[in-house]
Amino acid sequence: MSELPKARIATASLAGCFGCHMAILDIDERLIELMKLVDVDRSPLTDKKRFTERCDIGIIEGGCCNEENVHVLQDFRRNCDVLIALGQCAIMGGLPAMRNAIMHSDAPLRECLDEAYITGRYIRNTTHNVPNDPALPLLLDEVYPCSQVVEIDYQIPGCAPSGDIIFDTLTKLLTGKFRGFEPEMIKFD
Amino acid sequence: MSGTKKETGFAFTIDGVEVTAYAGQTIMEAADEAGVYIPRLCDHQGLRHQGSCRVCTVKAGGRSVAACTQPAAPGQSVENETPHLNKMRRDLVEMLFHEGNHLCPICEASGNCELQAMAYRLDMTETTRFPYLEPCRALDASHPDIALDTNRCISCGRCIRASQDVDGKGVFGYVGRGIHRRVAVNGEDLADTDAEVTDHAISSEVCPVGCIIRKRVGFVTPIGEREFDKGLIGHEIEEKRK
Please tell me the distance in Å from B155's CA to the nearest CA on chain A.
19
Closest Cβ–Cβ partner in B116, B127, B138 for A188: B116
Partners of B126 on chain A (C-beta within 8 Å) are: 155
- Sequence-separated (6 or more) residues with CB below 8 Å from residue A136: none
Predicted confidence (pLDDT) at residue A69 exceeds the cutoff of 70: yes
3-state class percentages of chain B: helix first, strand second, coil last, to nearest 5 = 30, 15, 55
Amino acid B1: pLDDT: 47
Q: Treating both helix axes as pointing N-terminal to C-terminal, what angle do B114-121 and B83-99 enclose, rounded to 10 degrees?
A: 140
Q: E strands, chain A, where?
A: 7-13, 38-40, 55-61, 64-66, 80-86, 139-144, 154-156
Residues A183, B123: C-beta atoms closer than 8 Å: yes
Percent of chain A's residues with pLDDT above 70 = 96
Per-residue pLDDT of chain B (242 residues; tens, 9 = 90+): 444 445 789 999 999 999 999 999 999 999 999 999 999 999 999 999 999 999 999 999 899 999 999 999 999 999 999 999 999 999 999 999 999 999 999 999 999 999 999 999 999 999 999 999 989 898 999 999 999 999 999 999 999 999 999 999 999 999 999 889 999 999 999 999 999 999 999 999 999 999 999 999 999 999 999 999 999 999 999 998 86
Average pLDDT estimate for A132-139 = 94
Contact A188 B223 (CB under 8 A): no
Which burial class, exposed, middle or buried, applies to B205 when counting CB atoms under 10 A from its CB (0-12, 13-18, 19+)? middle
How many whole angstroms separate alpha carbon B213 and alpha carbon B148?
6
pLDDT at A2 over 70: no
A97, A103, A186 member nearest B123 (Cβ): A186
Asked if the C-beta of B116 comes within 8 angstroms of chain A's C-beta atoms, the answer is yes
d(CA A153, CA A149): 13
Q: Which residues contact A124 (CB under 8 A, 6 or more apart)?
A: none
CATH topology of domain B88-222: Alpha-Beta Plaits (3.30.70)
What pLDDT shows up at residue B8?
84
Residue range A3-26: average pLDDT? 94
pLDDT tens digits, residue range A17-64? 999 999 999 999 999 999 999 999 999 999 999 999 999 999 999 999
Q: What are phi and psi of B195, to 5 degrees?
A: -65, 140
Query: Of the given ranges (A82-91, A109-118, A168-177, B180-189), which has the lowest mean pLDDT?
Result: A109-118
A117 — phi, psi (to 5°)?
-120, -20
> What pLDDT shows up at residue A101?
80
Domain A7-98+141-185 homologous superfamily, CATH: NADH:ubiquinone oxidoreductase-like, 20kDa subunit (3.40.50.700)
Using DSSP, state whether B18 is helix, strand or coil.
Answer: strand
B156 neighbors B53 (Cβ within 8 angstroms): yes
Name the nearest CA neighbour of A10 among A39, A35, A32, A34: A39
Measured between CA atoms, how close is B105 to chain A, in angstroms? Answer: 5
Count of pairs with CB atoms under 8 A, one residue in A, one in B: 77
* C-alpha dist (Å) from residue B136 to A94, A106, B99: 17, 9, 11
Q: Which residues contact A10 (CB under 8 A, 6 or more apart)?
A: A40, A41, A42, A43, A51, A55, A57, A58, A59, A76, A79, A80
Is the model more confident about B76 or about A107? B76
- Non-local (6+) Cβ contacts of A113 within 8 A are A130, A139
Q: How deeply is A8 buried, as exposed, middle or buried, from its count of CB atoms within 10 A (0-12, 13-18, 19+)? A: buried
Which residues are CB-neighbours of B167 under 8 A, at least 6 positions away? B199, B200, B201
| B110 in A contact zone (CB under 8 Å) | yes
Share of chain A above pLDDT 90, in %: 83
Strand-pairing partners, residue B213, are B147
Closest partner residue to A95 among B105, B151, B232, by Cβ? B105
Please list, residue by residue across B34-47, b when 16 or more beta carbons sit within 10 angstroms of its beta carbon and e when fewer do: bebbbbbbbbbeeb
Beta strands in chain B (DSSP E): 10-14, 17-21, 57-60, 63-66, 77-79, 139-140, 146-149, 172-175, 182-185, 212-214
**Which residues of chain B make contact with A186, given a CB cutoff of 8 A?**
119-120, 123-125
Architecture of domain B9-81 in CATH?
Roll (3.10)
**What mean pLDDT comes out for the span A72-81?**
98
Given phi > 0 = left and psi -120 to 50 = alpha, else beta, which region is A28?
A: left
Residue-range domain boundaries for chain B: 9-81, 88-222
Q: Which residue of B has its CA nearest to A83?
A: B127
Give the integer Cα–Cα distance in Å for A179 and B120: 16
Q: What band does A104 get if pLDDT is binned at 50, 70 and 90?
A: low
Instruction: Select from B52, B66, B65, B122 the least CA-distant residue to B90.
Output: B122
Report the distance separating Cα B153 and Cα B157, nearest Å.
Answer: 9
pLDDT at B242: 64
Nearest CA to A96 among A137, A71, A65? A65
CB-side exposure of B169: number of CA atoms within 13 Å? 21
For B222, which DSSP code? P
What's the pTM value of the predicted model, to 2 decimals? 0.94
For residue A183, CA distances in Å to A7, A186, B93, B232 come to 27, 5, 15, 8
Q: Do B125 and A181 touch (CB under 8 A)?
A: yes
Using an 8 Å Cβ cutoff, are A9 and A55 in contact?
A: yes
Say yes or no for a CB contact (<8 Å) between B121 and A180. no
B125 and A93: CB-CB below 8 Å?
A: no
Which residues make beta-bridge pairs with B26?
B71
